[in-house]
Structure 1
Amino acid sequence: MTDASVMSNYSLRDEIREYWSARAATFDTQVGHEIFSEEERHAWHELFLRHLGPGAGRRALDLASGTGVISHLLHDLGFDVTGLDWSEAMLNQARAKAKKRGSNIRFVMGDAERTLEKPESYDVLVTRHLVWTLVDPKAAFHEWHNLLKPGGRILVVDGDFVSDTFAKRLIRFIERLLPGSASNQHLPNAMREAHERILSQVYFSKGARAEEVAALLREAGFAHVTIDHDLKAIHRQQAKHLPWLKGFERATQHRYAVVAHKM
């Protein structure tokens, strides 16, 4: 890798960190980030139990933990949880939430692609909507494989939010007919521009498809890689708190969970 490409990667990483830091204050106000009903919480618990089993004191690492939403879901199930994020603004929110809820979750600053955590120190790794933002997923997946104990599991919850589909074209048509209904209206123009600029530069700039994520996990040494598209219970509950157009978009997107094992 050339010095120029390394500098370019660091510049992009800085922009990604600044983007999510700027969104930290309002992160928990948005459906799909925070949990807004016990029914949705239960649906997440069911997904984790299906693929990870009960916590029973096992060590879990929530990669790119943000304000700690996934960390708390894992904590609910009895995992000993560490949340890792590289945004101080996100970590401040996460620590305040943990203090308010009386949870003993450990939150640390770190780059999810280069965690500096001790090898073979976790039973479970979980990521939600992180993979699509990775600069170098191949290196990240090798790092994550090293973090797991033998027999450990990783659960990746993500989606292709980029590829153009009939549903997206229909939504754009409706948005032209109904001004003000655009699905990203909650973001100021500068934030939307930053999002688009970042997306154009990350590895999965054309969309993080489940099959490609699974293939890269196998390449990193993971085994028994399984794709689960059945997230309807979660999306159904989220849709209850969304405008109908946004709910339709979420229901038609390529969203998935991928679980993989370290042998």
Structure 2
Amino acid sequence: MRRIFSGSRFVRLLSDWASVEVDASRQDFAERLGEWLGVFDAITLHAAHQSINTVDEKKPSDAPLARTFALEEEFQRVRTALVKAITAGGAAPASGKLVRNPVPQPEAATETDAGYAPYHQRYLDQQRQMALRIDALRAYVRQALTKLSPQLGQLASFDTVMEQMLGGREQKLLSSVPVLLERRFEHLRKTHQLGLDAAQQQDVFGKEMQEVLLAELEVRLQPVVGLIEAFSKEVKK
């Protein structure tokens, strides 16, 4: 479990660009999770987990296999839309038209250097879009699980409890990403003095920020992926 998390592309990118030496944790996932939860959280989580183990086994409702495809299609639709929103601002507008939440372009930088502020705002905008659309998708998938079988309904409830407990800490951690990116931005500015001009700096940083956003998107989608996989396995039974 430690290897899986340490190998995350999102974590690896931020670790490299933060230029911070972090000792590998010797704790497994369960131990780290225990540090995040209080006593009452642990009791609530345990009760939610036990409810999955004790629920009566019943024959799943006659849900067509098409419902699995519908969930997968909705997942892909949301993911594709978010990827397009992230990558749309990665290049200059072709005909001078405005691009929603655009990455600041090199030409603008030569006139007025706004520094990191436009990038910061763009990152926050993209995070808000991801949170809104993925939260709605996650609720939609939970509802589908609840309709399929009692056990999957309990899994949906368990996922809700997990989100309530860990959502606040997750948001706090993700809110620190723009701060780490600012360090990278300032590092490239210093590099500018060694031969990297302003246009090259913005091109490099814009691509790197886009890469971080795409990696964060995959992290945010992981709980939904797990729910859909559980739904698919139950249907295939």
Query: What band does the TM-score fall into relative to the shorter chain?
Result: under 0.3
Which structure has more RCO (C-alpha within 8 Å, separation ≥ 6)?
Answer: 2
Task: Determine which structure has the larger helix proportion and give its number.
Answer: 2
TM-score, normalising length: structure 2: 0.28
TM-score, normalising length: structure 1: 0.26
Task: Determine which structure has the larger strand proportion and give its number.
Answer: 1
